[in-house]
Structure 1
Amino acid sequence: MTLLLAAIIVAITLGVTFWASGRNTSASDFYVAGGRISATQNGIAIAGDYMSAASFLGITGLIALNGYDGFMYSVGWFIAYLTVLFIVAEPLRNLGKYTLADMLVYRLKDPKVRFYAALSTITVSTFYMIAQVVGAGSLISLLSGGVLKAEVAIPLVGILMIIYVVVGGMLATTWVQIIKAILLMFATIVMTLFILARFGFSFSELLGQVEARNGVEYLGAGVKYKNPLDLISLCLALVLGTAGLPHILVRFFTVPTAQDARKSVVWAMILIGAFYVMTAFMGNAANVLVGKDRIIEANAAGNMAAPMLAQYLFGGPGTTGGEFGLAFVTAVAFATILAVVAGLTIAASTSFTHDIYNGVMRGGQATEAQQFRVARMATVAVGIVAILLGLLAKNQNVAFLVALAFAIAASANLPVILFTLFWRRFNANGAVWGIVGGLAVTLALIAISPNIMGVDPPEKTTGRHVIQAPAIFPLENPGIISIPAGFALAVLGTLLGRRREEDERSFEEMQYRAYTGAGMDGTVAAHD
């Protein structure tokens, strides 16, 4: 049943992809759907892009296994959109064309900035993508009864991802995300109503049973993150990272105006806020109805909590209703993965083609046909890399993997975005130092953290840790160190760089265009 429902969803999305292929004829169509997506469509697509496998599978599992500490992922990711709405959305739409680097280069006018911004985009997209394909491996293994292992499932998702993007471009990706968002919201609303009915429409009753089963400490901080700094570091990365996520930022280039960009964020926040509230119901209900032991037995990281909860809500294992619930939620989660992976792939391939190939290697002189061809080749390369890295990380919790992507985005991208928009003295040297330094510090801390380093018990045949040695850096998320480091390095690089009057004049021009949109149609914007 699960295979059938998943096949139906794949067939529908592939149909949309081939429909979009007839409208995917230029580089602009491939990158941003020609800027023809409406605000409502884009808002739903943003929600579809944002509510990833990490949200649906990972957070439900983290709450089921860790209580309050798991719910912090939901809170952080939702609050993060306030930064996007009030600071980033409108200036980005007015200053850029296809990528984050466009906005930076519009003001700083240095090809080195474009190259390093593209490098950061590709790195963030890769970390985020790993989480999605790992979730796919867990899902397909479950729905096939263990017959199809992650080693088969992950390449399957990679191949579908490549087809969506190569054939349909951004238009197909947008509609796949819209379909996925509608399916996911429907599934979570139905599950939440069933949960409320099971517990007398009382969230207090649900939490009371969680407390009775796990103890009162389960409802407070400290179950997963014994060190308070770990929780603070995580929250910093989640709240600040969204404004630097390339696959989210690129969506603001798909709408006609900056006003539509702002409306898109409002629509997205409504859907995302409702969804993350419902993860609290799903995670706690999974703890009570399914039980931690069964969840861990199905997947040690907790990624199968949501599908197993649906099975119990609709009648239990072995019943027709239970098997349908498991099948439907698993199929929706699979659609979730496909949609998000497609968005990440197009962000990474667009950044490589537009920024590195055309902007740096060809000096902006590549033809539309050349960019279109290279973008498709880059998509295939990105897909292959995602498959290989997904296989290496198949034992990790998907929500945790995404949190690391947020830490990179907050440390390398956000400082440069804010200083570009608000600091007159900021220059290209500061941008390079901020991006490279923030990226390097984050990756270095991740490499020596408990995520990579640790000693697994000898009885475990598949070790969780890549390096079997005690961790040097004690925190799981490096945000509390790497984010201030990114800002500090951007400031230091700016002060050490040469101060030029033209840089400060370009700041005034940039601000005028960022907040008025004047000159976006190609005319010269004049102002006092």
Structure 2
Amino acid sequence: MLIATWIITFVLIVGIGVYAGTKITNSGQWSGSDRSMGIFAVGAVLGAWQIGGMSIVGAAQNGYVMGIAGSWYSIANGLYILALGILAKTMRRNFPSDALPDYLEKRYSVRVARLQSYVWIIFGLVYIPIQLKTVASILQIVLPNLNTQLCMFIGVTIAVAYTAFAGMKGASIVGRVVCIATYILLGWFIFTNIGDFGGYSGLISQLPEGYDQLSAMSTQQIVAWMIGGVLTSIVLQSALQPVLAAKSDKAATWGCILGYVIAGPICILTAIIGMMAKAKTDDLGDGATAFAWAIKDMSSPVMAGIIFAVMTMIIAATLATMMMATGTIVTNVYKKQINPNADEKKLLTMSRLGTVAVAYVSLLLGFFIPSAQMTNMFLTVNYVVTAPFSFSVLAGMFWSKANAKGSFWSIIAGIVVALVWVVAGLNDQINVVYPTIIACYVVGIAVSLSTSSKSAIAQ
């Protein structure tokens, strides 16, 4: 019954996403560059992106190992959505298209734009497998006889089924469905089960000391999530795309606010589910399977099947947004560097085929990525790849002296420092976002000022 319910539910959701793409006739409608999305569409895409991006399994894992402090992830890290709302009008005035490389080329140089394109494609290929591991952990509860690799294949196929075909249209429709369903289902799950523990206070009494303390999460980590989230969001193609796709500045700004309202509280629910699993058993190791174990152990087969289907789809929605963003960059590379004369039909075909290619190449890479510490790996990869570009975007919009050389070398400095920091094992002492941001901003400002002065003297 669990398997049957799971299949029926997710087939219906995927079907909704695919149907949304039946009227797409050009690449602009696929990527969102036609600027037709309203407040609810923007909010749903951003909300689903954040919720699926480690707020389910990762936050439940943190709830299992440290308690309610595990809820900080969506509360702190999700602030980037509000930052996007504040900057939405400025970005929409400065960005010539829905692709970040086009802005970097316009503001700086082709070299900077190409560097961002190549780094983003690599990032997408590494990011997607991390999310696939999360999907696989849920699928293996539903389909226990399948190995991780096969579950990852199923997960990527689910996401690509509607993303490649429907693009931003499918992402917005599926986002609305899964965000609403997630809150209803998880809220109902906690409401119907927490009484067995004697309410929340009874649950706390059955857990190790400190599980009721938000302060169990280090302040450094919370601040790193805030700063890292805000400074990296402005270079995340997957976060920028729905904002740039909004039909008006008002829709973009209020869509971001709605996105945070949707995503911000979710980790409170998932952390509590992890805590409920901890109160029931100490046998889940690092807690990576805490969410799936709790849902299966404390729900009827029918309800568990529905919950697992919706959770699979909201994580797949995050995958879909990343696939779509990477597909957009691939299409941009194709249009700018390979076939500048491509018509809309070719670009739409390239967007779809590029998304499929990215999905399955990343699947192959995913077979070699370890499952342990998925949340930390996700955040580390995120900051290593995105934080170094934040100077180029922010300074480009607000500092007239920022130039191409300053932009390029700030990116190189940020990437090198981030990689060295992580490889040296220093991330456990001080989060990688701090030295990365310092390095790229210091180098960016210094190089821009020094080269601007030389240019002025030469003139």
TM-score by length of 1: 0.78
Q: Which residue of 2 aligns with 1:427?
A: 403
Q: Which residue of 1 aligns with 2:135?
A: 136
CA 1:264–1:222 in 2, change beyond 3 Å: closer, same or farther?
closer
Report the Cα distance in structure 1 between the residues aligned to 2:211 and 2:275, rounded to whole angstroms.
14
Describe the superposition over 1:85-143 as per-residue Cα deviations: whole angstroms up to 9, x where unpaired. Answer: 22x322222332212233333433x2122212223433443343222101122122222
Describe the superposition over 1:420-444 as per-residue Cα deviations: whole angstroms up to 9, x where unpaired. Answer: 1211211122222233332333234
Report the Cα distance in structure 2 between the residues aligned to 1:93 and 1:500, rounded to whole angstroms.
32
Task: Kindly indicate whether the alpha-carbon contact (under 8 Å) linking 2:270 and 2:291 is maintained by their aligned counterparts in 1.
Answer: no
The reply on whether 1:336 has 2:300 as its aligned counterpart is no
Report the Cα distance in structure 2 between the residues aligned to 1:50 and 1:76, rounded to whole angstroms.
12
CA 1:249–1:409 in 2, change beyond 3 Å: closer, same or farther?
farther
Where structure 1 has 5 or more consecutive residues not aligned to the other structure, the ranges are: 315-320, 450-471, 503-528
Report the Cα distance in structure 2 between the residues aligned to 1:130 and 1:303, rounded to whole angstroms.
16
Q: Which residue of 1 aligns with 2:228?
A: 237
What pairs with 1:366-445 in structure 2 (closer than 5 Å)? 366-408=342-384, 410-445=386-421
Q: Which residue of 1 aligns with 2:67?
A: 67
Task: Kindly indicate whether the alpha-carbon contact (under 8 Å) linking 1:237 and 1:410 is maintained by their aligned counterparts in 2.
Answer: no
Matched to 2:153, the amino acid is P
Matched to 1:345, the amino acid is M
The SS at the match of 1:215 is coil
1:52 CA drift (Å): 0.9
Task: Kindly indicate whether the alpha-carbon contact (under 8 Å) linking 1:140 and 1:149 is maintained by their aligned counterparts in 2.
Answer: no
Q: Which residue of 2 aligns with 1:193?
A: 191
1:205 CA drift (Å): 4.3
The reply on whether 1:263 has 2:254 as its aligned counterpart is yes
Describe the superposition over 1:322-367 as per-residue Cα deviations: whole angstroms up to 9, x where unpaired. Answer: x33432322222112221111100100101211x2223445x5433
Report the Cα distance in structure 1 between the residues aligned to 2:278 and 2:241, rounded to whole angstroms.
37
What pairs with 1:58-457 in structure 2 (closer than 5 Å)? 58-67=58-67, 70-86=70-86, 88-96=87-95, 97-108=97-108, 110-145=109-144, 147-198=145-196, 203-210=200-207, 214-216=208-210, 219=213, 233=224, 236-238=227-229, 240-288=231-279, 290-293=280-283, 295-296=284-285, 301-314=286-299, 321=300, 323-354=301-332, 356-362=333-339, 365-408=341-384, 410-449=386-425
The reply on whether 1:36 has 2:45 as its aligned counterpart is no
Task: Kindly indicate whether the alpha-carbon contact (under 8 Å) linking 1:238 and 1:406 is maintained by their aligned counterparts in 2.
Answer: no
CA 1:375–1:152 in 2, change beyond 3 Å: closer, same or farther?
same
Identity %: 18
Cα-Cα RMSD = 2.9
Task: Kindly indicate whether the alpha-carbon contact (under 8 Å) linking 1:114 and 1:360 is maintained by their aligned counterparts in 2.
Answer: no
The SS at the match of 1:244 is coil
Q: Which residue of 1 aligns with 2:433?
A: 479
Report the Cα distance in structure 1 between the residues aligned to 2:454 and 2:183, rounded to whole angstroms.
51
1:232 CA drift (Å): 5.5
CA 1:17–1:204 in 2, change beyond 3 Å: closer, same or farther?
closer
1:78 CA drift (Å): 2.8
Report the Cα distance in structure 1 between the residues aligned to 2:437 and 2:257, rounded to whole angstroms.
27
1:391 CA drift (Å): 1.4
1:185 CA drift (Å): 1.8
CA 1:366–1:71 in 2, change beyond 3 Å: closer, same or farther?
same
Matched to 2:239, the amino acid is I
CA 1:62–1:251 in 2, change beyond 3 Å: closer, same or farther?
same
CA 1:400–1:131 in 2, change beyond 3 Å: closer, same or farther?
same
Matched to 1:8, the amino acid is I
Q: Which residue of 2 aligns with 1:507?
A: none
Q: Which residue of 2 aligns with 1:455?
A: none
Report the Cα distance in structure 2 between the residues aligned to 1:107 and 1:143, rounded to whole angstroms.
49
1:496 CA drift (Å): 4.2
Matched to 1:286, the amino acid is A
Q: Which residue of 1 aligns with 2:15?
A: 15
Describe the superposition over 1:343-400 as per-residue Cα deviations: whole angstroms up to 9, x where unpaired. Answer: 100100101211x2223445x5433233223223321221122202221124233322
Task: Kindly indicate whether the alpha-carbon contact (under 8 Å) linking 1:429 and 1:494 is maintained by their aligned counterparts in 2.
Answer: yes
1:312 CA drift (Å): 4.2
Describe the superposition over 1:390-427 as per-residue Cα deviations: whole angstroms up to 9, x where unpaired. Answer: 21124233322321243135522322221112112111
Matched to 2:206, the amino acid is Q
Task: Kindly indicate whether the alpha-carbon contact (under 8 Å) linking 2:76 and 2:222 is maintained by their aligned counterparts in 1.
Answer: no
TM-score by length of 2: 0.88
Task: Kindly indicate whether the alpha-carbon contact (under 8 Å) linking 2:68 and 2:268 is maintained by their aligned counterparts in 1.
Answer: no
Report the Cα distance in structure 2 between the residues aligned to 1:332 and 1:476, rounded to whole angstroms.
36
CA 1:241–1:475 in 2, change beyond 3 Å: closer, same or farther?
farther
The SS at the match of 2:442 is helix
Higher RCO structure, 1 or 2 (CA under 8 Å, sep 6+):
2
CA 1:18–1:327 in 2, change beyond 3 Å: closer, same or farther?
closer
Report the Cα distance in structure 2 between the residues aligned to 1:123 and 1:442, rounded to whole angstroms.
16
Give the number of aligned pairs. Answer: 455
